Amino acid sequence: MRLLLALALATAPGIAFAAGTVDTSDSNDSTAEAEAEPKAETEVEAEADAEDAGEGQETNPPEETETVTECEEGMVFDEESEACVEPQDEALNDADRIQAVRELAYAGKYGAARIVLDAVTDQNHDMVFTYRGFTARKMGNMDEAMIEYSRALDVNPDNILVRSYMGQAFVETGQYELAQAQLSEIRARGGRGTWAEISLRLAIDSGRTYNY
């Protein structure tokens, strides 16, 4: 628990401020109403098309491909050759590998996702740390997850997706004040209305977290 608190203090400089202190003076009335009343889940699904503020941060659930339905564990489907290939195969680039990681993680194949992560050429990319943290958390290793989330934020403090995942981890451990601090950080960094913001807000409201 001390590790979680220490990491939270290091990665959320605005922790002393509640979400309500974020400057919303330029917001219109409809935005204020949305803040006052959480949206129904059907409305949230409709809003999942919003683009995230951070580069490479997808918002919608990944489409299931042959990587999940046909390939052996750790293999990735290459559309050009129409075959399952090793994740290190030169036919793939890092964007292909990260997309496969998202797809595998969403399907609950966390071990396979980590095999593909190991094949990403840029191991210091913030999205590599993001999904190492995500898969660690889903596999029950919360301490490792928080370390990886912190690494992602060291590389890219504006990675609102990892802030959402970190906030959801705090929800899972009952640390709602720290989760709220990450929600404030997401909004302050231009993430209001994105899936990263919506999913964390709903997680705080309901205690339910998400797989993407």
Map the chain to HEC letters: CHHHHHHHHHHCCCCCCCHHHCCCCCCCHHHHHHHHCCCCHHHHHHHCCCCCCCCCCCCCCCCCCHHHHCCCCCCEEECCCCEEECCCCCCCCHHHHHHHHHHHHHCCCHHHHHHHHHHCCCCCCHHHHHHHHHHHHHCCCHHHHHHHHHHHHHHCCCCHHHHHHHHHHHHHCCCHHHHHHHHHHHHHCCCCCCHHHHHHHHHHHHCCCCCC
- Sort 99 into a burial class: Cβ within 10 Å, 0-12 / 13-18 / 19+: buried
* CA distances (Å), origin 167, targets 94, 146, 149: 26, 10, 10
pLDDT score, position 211: 81
The pLDDT averaged over each successive group of 10 residues in the chain (212 residues) is 45 36 38 42 41 51 92 96 97 96 95 98 97 97 98 98 97 98 97 95 95 80
pLDDT score, position 62: 87
Q: How far apart are CA 187 and CA 122, in angstroms?
A: 28
pLDDT score, position 153: 98
Digit-coded pLDDT (tens) for 10-20: 444 433 323 33
Q: How far apart are CA 174 and CA 207, in angstroms?
A: 9
Report the predicted TM-score, pTM, of the whole model to 2 decimal places: 0.72
Digit-coded pLDDT (tens) for 67-91: 999 999 999 999 999 999 999 999 9
pLDDT score, position 104: 96
